[in-house]
Amino acid sequence: MNKKNDVIRWAIQDDAQALSVLNEAFNGVKMPVTEIRNSIDGNHELIAVAAVDEEVIGFACAQSYASFCYREPQGEITEVYVREGARRQGVATALVSFLEEGLRGRGVNSIKVLTGRNNDAAIKTYAGAGFAQQNELVFHKAFEPK
């Protein structure tokens, strides 16, 4: 991202529709705009967007949390997505860097990221941003909706 009209910024209410469309492309889930607006207004999640000429082309989300198990707040980057036509231009790297600064502003000194073993583009992005690959297993359990 290096053109004059390229920007990384925090999501605003007017971004909710674009975020819904991008999230559906990324996660296959169509989130209601009202839920996205609530997340934007809430304090539990950081939502960054990448925009070119005011059109949102990507987003990234992070969370910080405190636990008695750790001395400092912990951070996690949970999502990074860039529309296909805008990839390989440094957008994901810029989004990650922006989230890092936001998390540091919340007192976070350590950030974790989970990604697929075969997601070479994401692995390259995180490694290039200074993240070190760990040798951890991820366990997952899904519950039936109530």
For the segment 109-128, what is each residue's pLDDT rounded down to a tens digit? 999 999 988 999 999 999 99
Is residue 1 included in any domain, yes or no?
no
Is residue 48 included in any domain, yes or no?
yes
67: which residues sit within 8 A by CB, 6+ positions away? Answer: 74
Is residue 123 included in any domain, yes or no?
yes
Domain, as residue range, for 80: 6-128
Q: How many domains would you assign to the chain?
A: 1
Helix H or strand E segment including 25: helix 16-27
What pLDDT score does 42 carry? 84
Q: Is the pTM of the predicted complex or chain greater than 0.85?
A: yes
Is residue 138 included in any domain, yes or no?
no
Residue 63: name the closest of 43, 82, 81, 83 by CA. Answer: 43
Is residue 135 included in any domain, yes or no?
no
Is residue 143 included in any domain, yes or no?
no
Is residue 14 included in any domain, yes or no?
yes
Residue 39 belongs to a domain with what CATH number?
Answer: 3.40.630.30
How far apart, in Å, are the Cα atoms of 45 and each of 75, 77, 88, 118, 130?
Answer: 10, 10, 26, 27, 22
